[in-house]
Structure 1
Amino acid sequence: MLSLHTSPLDPPGVGDAGGLNVYVYELARRLGSRGVQVDIFTRRRTPDVPEVVPAGGGVRVVQIPAGPAEAVAKERLPELVDEFAANVLAWHATHAAGEQEWDLIHSHYWLSGIAGITVAEGLQLPLVHTMHTMARVKNANRAGDHLVEPDVREDGETRIVEQADVLTANTADEAQELVRHYGAVQEQLTVVPPGVDLETFHPCAQLQSRRQYGLAMSDKIILFVGRLQPLKAPDVLIDAVAELVRRRPDLDDQLKLIIIGSPSGPESTYADALPDTIRDHGLEDRIIVRPHSPRPELFRWYCAANVVGVPSYNESFGLVALEAQACGRPVVATDVGGLRYAVHDGETGLLVAGHDPVLWADALEKLLDEPELAREFGRNGALHAARFSWDNTAAAALDAYARALAGPS
């Protein structure tokens, strides 16, 4: 597997680490449990990490030099793709050839996909690719003041689609977006839905979690989890809470918004403006902004919440929505992309058209005011999320690999 720009060992919510990291790590781990040997290659970003880090069960993470051994701005990473690919091939020649030959290459995200083309051609192996997100889809759904994904990415994704043997998509809709935006053919496409760690995230008692974090049972808690960037749009929830406080003074002492995440990407200064937005609304006592949390701690935050908000402008699936539902919590999410699959509108949560704070306040208010409905959504959500195990993801991925190895039909 290739994951050039971010390591599966990085904690989600920090820098560029997010759902992709979880996906690569969990998929590799479940493949390993089925006896598949998996080497995951990522760019070395610090000099003091061992070259090879065993991740258990026949999985190892290999740090490959490409550029300086330090953090590099994401917009500069395309310059390092060729070096990364060349060094993966060199590593194979030194370590893997004759020891444990590879059967195929599975690349994640467009930067890895470009490297994957070179590696697959060099070793005469099939290439399976997972986009995770797509430039043309993001550009079509962005707000007017968000950065536009660059042409080099669109061109790179077009080249990947032209050359990959198999393209995996999170949903059937995403598969059709590959056809519509990039000219993929149906024979290339297979749906491999992401999973959720059902051992870590599961239905739980709210009282215990609130006691752990010093929160009152009378509090009405809205939770946001994700990177602090325009795409994830935590500002929409801030504005919605301001609208709720304006229309419902009776909620003022109880209402809390907890934002968990860290800045990310070329628009990381976006996070710097959030405290000003909170101050402008006079919500300093209502909104808590916390850095990323380890997953067991994150589980407790989900448990403490009344409702989880996912106001993203686009998601290829929406892992946060799935984790929240696995914990038995209702979700309010944007009616876009993979969130339409992760959340069943009117059954496990509510989908909101667009990002109007008034509409978001309406949806949040409904679930805060109707606890029995929220509990029903939570119960339905836990059953829904239980269908998305990482073992099922691994089984679907193995089917995709078999298609790639079989060649054109």
Structure 2
Amino acid sequence: MFLRQKNRIALISVCGDPAIEIGKEEAGGQNVYVREVGLALAQAGWQVDMFTRRSSLEQAAVVQHSPNCRTIRLTAGPATFINRDEVYSYLPEFVYSFLVFQQREGLRYSIIHTNYWLSSWVGMALRKYQPLIQVHTYHSLGAVKYSTMSDLPPIASTRLAVEKACLETVDRVVATSPQEAEHMRQWVSTKGTIEIVPCGTDIDRFGGIPQNEARQQLGIAPDAKVVLYVGRFDPRKGIETLVRSIAKSSLHGQANLQLIIGGGFHPGQSDGIELDRIQDIVNELGLQNITTFPGQLGDTNLHLYYAAADVCVIPSHYEPFGLVALEAMASGTPVVASNIGGLKFTVVPEVTGLLVPPKNEVAFAQAIDQILANPAWAFQLGQTGRQRVEIAFSWYSVASRLGSLYTQLLDRAASVSGSKSQVAA
């Protein structure tokens, strides 16, 4: 016997474990999105199960986050870290494990919300076994990513085909910004239905501590000019551009200028290799005395670094949305970001920060200097950024909009089902 509840939903994130420690290999914005959306939906009254792939035998099979929200880790391939580009062959096993879990628990989900292209394949496969409403969030688009690469990975053609099929066939695709929606139409397909629902951030966690107190806790001098980067060590994140822009800054050579590059890494793995490369550039440019690498920033200290910074820099080459921008703005810290993707949606030029061309060291240096040289203006940018996040980008508002979308789709499905029943009668 199966229990189907109208408000029971499954968030599927095959390779973005919502219960994992942020900063692990390939753990970033997608993990945060799925976890926070799940928690907020649960608080709003939905029964939420979040499914991901088990990547270690030491991981708990089920993590209960709140009474109505849990993470369920399914077997799909060996219980070890696997690069995203190599997970595809294990997706049929993930589907099987999902169906076995349903059978064991006696559950049916009215809605599945899949995240990233691998999960969209899982969702479309599950719909062959049972009636399901599928909502999908891409998090990144293969076509946009591959347009900047000279050597495409073997999985590229498969990913592009799956992303196209997803947009054209699932019930609704969620774009996190108007820019991402435009990319879908331009790069993926003109068919399918898109709904714009932005990402969010924790407005209670970020913005609750003044700069001087945060600096005192972190041991940063009160008069320091602090430039902050937060994120993964990945060439696409543009950290090299930031480092070289600091070398070109008019403040370069001043004792109180500090560059903080925060993010976790794993020696010998891709992020560790990128860290080594960035450190070599820092040393080559003579910036080692003003640059610190505090490592992984998490629940205990991330909010402190945002609050302590004078400016947060997001020099990405491609960013579908960019949660770091929201976290910085929620902390009252102005942002300098690449004029790309979702960053053009979240950051309002000369209102909450500045936007500059990606990979442009001179432009980044000038924008950073402009903010550091005008503390009063920088403060106003930060205050306006905080107000913008409170109004439009809390996880509560995101969950409310997604909940409304789910309800709309459920009501439409019920209406269609009712009409068919009347015809049959």
The residue number in structure 1 matching 2:112 is: 105
The residue number in structure 1 matching 2:31 is: 21
The residue number in structure 2 matching 1:224 is: 229
The residue number in structure 1 matching 2:213 is: 208
Give the direction of change, closer, same or farther, for the CA distance of 1:367–1:147 in structure 2 (3 Å limit).
farther
The residue number in structure 2 matching 1:368 is: 372
Task: Return the letter of the residue paired with 1:24.
Answer: V
Partner residue of 1:193 out of 198, 210, 224: 198
Matches within 5 A, 1:221-370: 221-244=226-249, 247-248=250-251, 251-263=253-265, 267-268=270-271, 269-370=273-374
The answer to whether the Cα contact below 8 Å between 1:230 and 1:267 also exists between their aligned partners in 2 is: no
CA deviation map 1:282-320 (0-9, x unaligned): 111111112211134100001110100000111111111
The answer to whether the Cα contact below 8 Å between 1:5 and 1:43 also exists between their aligned partners in 2 is: yes
Distance, in Å, in 1 between the alignment partners of 2:12 and 2:292 is 36
Q: What secondary structure is seen at the aligned counterpart in 1 of 2:49?
A: strand
The residue number in structure 1 matching 2:7 is: none
Distance, in Å, in 1 between the alignment partners of 2:60 and 2:208 is 38
Q: What secondary structure is seen at the aligned counterpart in 1 of 2:348?
A: coil
Give the direction of change, closer, same or farther, for the CA distance of 1:400–1:109 in structure 2 (3 Å limit).
same
CA RMSD of aligned residues (A): 2.1
In the TM superposition, what is the alpha-carbon distance from 1:202 to its structure 2 partner?
1.5
The residue number in structure 1 matching 2:42 is: 32
CA deviation map 1:25-72 (0-9, x unaligned): 111111111221111111111113332221103111111001111111
Report the more deviating stretch, 366-375 or 114-123: 114-123
In the TM superposition, what is the alpha-carbon distance from 1:266 to its structure 2 partner?
7.9
Distance, in Å, in 1 between the alignment partners of 2:28 and 2:68 is 23
The residue number in structure 1 matching 2:396 is: 391
The answer to whether the Cα contact below 8 Å between 1:233 and 1:312 also exists between their aligned partners in 2 is: yes
Distance, in Å, in 2 between the alignment partners of 1:180 and 1:61 is 35
In the TM superposition, what is the alpha-carbon distance from 1:147 to its structure 2 partner?
7.4
Give the direction of change, closer, same or farther, for the CA distance of 1:144–1:240 in structure 2 (3 Å limit).
farther
Partner residue of 1:151 out of 138, 150, 157: 157
In the TM superposition, what is the alpha-carbon distance from 1:74 to its structure 2 partner?
2.1
Distance, in Å, in 1 between the alignment partners of 2:209 and 2:346 is 20
CA deviation map 1:230-286 (0-9, x unaligned): 121111111011112xx445x521111100112489843222211111111111111
Partner residue of 1:121 out of 119, 122, 128: 128
Q: What secondary structure is seen at the aligned counterpart in 2 of 1:104?
A: strand
Partner residue of 1:43 out of 39, 46, 53: 53
Task: Return the letter of the residue paired with 1:136.
Answer: A
The residue number in structure 2 matching 1:77 is: 87
Task: Return the letter of the residue paired with 1:366.
Answer: Q
The answer to whether the Cα contact below 8 Å between 2:168 and 2:191 also exists between their aligned partners in 1 is: no
Q: Which runs of 5+ in 1 are unaligned?
A: none
Distance, in Å, in 1 between the alignment partners of 2:395 and 2:211 is 26
Distance, in Å, in 1 between the alignment partners of 2:67 and 2:204 is 18
Q: What secondary structure is seen at the aligned counterpart in 1 of 2:45?
A: coil
Q: Which runs of 5+ in 2 are unaligned?
A: 1-10, 417-425
The residue number in structure 2 matching 1:94 is: 104
Task: Return the letter of the residue paired with 2:261.
Answer: I
Give the direction of change, closer, same or farther, for the CA distance of 1:147–1:235 in structure 2 (3 Å limit).
farther
The residue number in structure 2 matching 1:167 is: 173
Task: Return the letter of the residue paired with 1:208.
Answer: E
Partner residue of 1:61 out of 60, 65, 71: 71
The residue number in structure 1 matching 2:5 is: none
Q: What secondary structure is seen at the aligned counterpart in 1 of 2:301?
A: helix
The answer to whether the Cα contact below 8 Å between 1:260 and 1:289 also exists between their aligned partners in 2 is: yes
In the TM superposition, what is the alpha-carbon distance from 1:163 to its structure 2 partner?
2.2
The answer to whether the Cα contact below 8 Å between 2:215 and 2:222 also exists between their aligned partners in 1 is: yes
In the TM superposition, what is the alpha-carbon distance from 1:161 to its structure 2 partner?
1.6
The answer to whether the Cα contact below 8 Å between 1:200 and 1:296 also exists between their aligned partners in 2 is: no
Task: Return the letter of the residue paired with 2:255.
Answer: D
Q: What secondary structure is seen at the aligned counterpart in 1 of 2:122?
A: helix
Q: What secondary structure is seen at the aligned counterpart in 1 of 2:226?
A: strand
CA deviation map 1:62-117 (0-9, x unaligned): 110011111112221111111111111111112133xxx31111100011110111
Q: What secondary structure is seen at the aligned counterpart in 1 of 2:34?
A: helix
Count of residues paired in the alignment: 401
Give the direction of change, closer, same or farther, for the CA distance of 1:49–1:203 in structure 2 (3 Å limit).
closer
In the TM superposition, what is the alpha-carbon distance from 1:148 to its structure 2 partner?
9.6
Report the more deviating stretch, 21-30 or 266-275: 266-275
Task: Return the letter of the residue paired with 2:165.
Answer: R
Task: Return the letter of the residue paired with 1:238.
Answer: V
